[in-house]
Amino acid sequence: MELGSLQDNSQATFSLTDEDHTLANSLRFTLNQDPRVSFCGYSIPHPSDPRVNIRVQTTGDSAREVLKDSCQDLMLMCEHVRSTFDQAILEFKSKDGLKSMKI
Amino acid sequence: MTTESEDSESMEEQRTPKIPVWDLPDLPTGKLPPHLELQRTRVLCTFDAPTHTEKIQSSGAYASMGVDNSMQFEEFRNKFRVEVIRLTEDDLEVDMIGIDASLANAFRRILIAELPTMAIEKVLVANNTSVIQDEVLAHRLGLIPLKVDPRLFDYISENDEPNEKNTIVFKLHVRCERGSARIKVKSDELKWLPKGSEFVLNSEKSTADSTSKTKTYTSFSCSQDSLPEFSNNPIAPKHDDIIIAKLGPGQEIELEAHAVKGMGKVHAKWSPVATTWYRMLPEVVLLQDIEDEKAEELVKKCPVKVFDIEDIGKGRKKATVARPRSCTLCRECIRGDDWDKYVSLRRVKDHFIFTIESTGALPPEELFVEAVKILEDKCMRVISELS
């Protein structure tokens, strides 16, 4: 749900349900890394309400597009983490396998 | 780096001298002055409190110095490294280098609270004459880790019939005979019932004369052990020596336990990890050469033996940092006198020592991959909601 972007789409608050610090903090990180963002932050209005508000203010671009790009960035980073991790585990296992064989 | 005269002067502060802004070169060099670089990449553990703990995330934080603080994906791709330190059946320790704390924390949170496993949720007690109460017994059963891949099962919702795709049934029937010694009921007494519940539903009892088979608490359409994924590895608790109850002579427990799929944020019994944590890599730097008695003193000060002594000839000794990884940042080595002028304790902000302890449903390396996938799914959800 997007709020407060009726007149000016360069700033908006996005209210995400069923999300918490896990996603919001990661998104805040990727948003902050984006040079188009002038301000961003998030808050959880009430601890027993499964909802998080993410505020995005940009230097002119549409806040919605910037947030979408940030999600895309985060996904790419996750994919890279996953492939690097798999590679490292494979390498470790093959090395460990050699060690246990004791040629 | 610095000349000798400057060095002795700046030693009052830190090894890295503070550079006034008017002494900076006119043209941006694309590099931060050393003291800012130190603040950006390290947490400094001074004797009263850690400083510079916050990561500077904003992309424009160092714009005035011509340094771009934004992280390009290419840069991340080049810098990010994973090094496996230890991998056993249940434990995994990896170094993740070049990642932000927010991401490391996201993985940790997902591992603890948002990865599904199977755990006993419903216990049908037919008979319990032991000293342990039904509800306590049910709670103990719930906490027993089950060795079964949760990805093969569906979630069960309130109105769902328990079937072979969402429920695992175990039977527990133990009796301690009169006149015999007391016995311990261990988790290996939990017997998997691949055909589903054996308890007949009460309402159906009156019409038991019907031709179809009697209705039980579950409605399995086929036996679980006929499914290819379970035919060779039967479902059982991960450990067979967990004590569930103790029975005295003449006492008996007869019950059925139904395990379902769930997540750690609903109840910790569904958490696939005993725990998972990360810490930043400790970095111990000797700001000056520490020799002879002073070196001996330093080695003795450290309770986890971070420092070693090196012979530098002519009977002289010098302290070296041998095992910085085992440093717990107890700050014992910078306590008293002027020790913080000699030793600097730091943490590397983007180097995480990540440890996963699996409870046994899935091996730890698979758990981590699943956690990353869940974070990706969350991003997907946001993207599709915004489009």
Q: Do A82 and B383 touch (CB under 8 A)?
A: no
Chain B residues in contact with A54 by the CB 8 A cut-off are none
CA distances from B258 to B9, B122, B173, B227, B270 (A): 72, 5, 15, 19, 14
Q: Do A85 and B369 touch (CB under 8 A)?
A: yes
pLDDT for residue B24: 67
Quick one: DSSP state of residue B216? B
Q: Do A68 and B373 touch (CB under 8 A)?
A: no
Q: How many CB pairs under 8 A join A and B?
A: 115
- What pLDDT, in 10s, does the model give residues B325-380? 999 988 888 888 788 888 999 999 999 999 999 999 999 999 999 999 999 999 99
Report the C-alpha gap between B324 and B387 in whole angstroms. 49
Q: Which CATH architecture has domain B117-203+216-269?
A: Beta Complex (2.170)
Q: Do A81 and B382 touch (CB under 8 A)?
A: no
Q: Which CATH architecture has domain A2-95?
A: 2-Layer Sandwich (3.30)
Backbone φ/ψ region at A30: left (φ over 0), alpha (ψ -120 to 50), beta = alpha
Of B68, B70, B80, the CB nearest to A80: B80
**Average of per-residue pLDDT across B291-316:** 88
**How close, in Å, is residue A67 to chain B by CA atoms?**
8
**Average of per-residue pLDDT across B138-148:** 95
Q: Do B71 and A14 touch (CB under 8 A)?
A: no
Residue B144 has pLDDT above 90, yes or no: yes
Residue B324 has pLDDT above 80, yes or no: yes
pLDDT for residue A102: 56
Q: What is the pTM (predicted TM-score) of this model?
A: 0.87
Contacts of A88 (CB under 8 A, 6+ apart): B82, B83, B84, B94
Q: Do B382 and A88 touch (CB under 8 A)?
A: no
Q: Which CATH architecture has domain B13-25+36-115+271-387?
A: 2-Layer Sandwich (3.30)
Least confident window among A45-59, B121-135, B214-228, B229-243: B214-228
Return the half-sphere exposure (C-beta side, CA atoms, 13 A cut-off) of residue B98: 19
Confidence of residue A1 (pLDDT cuts 50, 70, 90): low
Write down the domain spans for chain B: 13-25+36-115+271-387, 117-203+216-269
Question: What tokens does A22 get?
Answer: 């896990």
Q: Do B372 and A81 touch (CB under 8 A)?
A: yes
Q: Do B70 and A35 touch (CB under 8 A)?
A: yes
In this predicted complex, what is the ipTM?
0.93
- Name the one residue in this structure whose structure tokens are 């090196």: B310
Mean pLDDT of all residues belonging to chain B? 87
pLDDT higher at B92 or B20: B92
- What pLDDT, in 10s, does the model give residues A13-69? 999 999 999 999 999 999 998 999 999 999 999 999 999 999 999 998 999 999 999
Q: Do B373 and A82 touch (CB under 8 A)?
A: yes
Chain A residues in contact with B73 by the CB 8 A cut-off are 73, 76-77
Write down the domain spans for chain A: 2-95
Q: How many residues does chain B have?
A: 387
In contact, B235 and B168? CB cutoff 8 Å: yes
Chain A residues in contact with B81 by the CB 8 A cut-off are 84
Chain B residues in contact with A73 by the CB 8 A cut-off are 73
Chain A residues in contact with B60 by the CB 8 A cut-off are 35
B63 — contact with chain A (CB < 8 Å)? no
Report residue B147: phi and psi, to 5°: -90, 85
Could you give the percent of chain B with pLDDT greater than 90? Answer: 55
Contacts of B144 (CB under 8 A, 6+ apart): B119, B120, B187, B190, B237, B238, B239, B242, B244
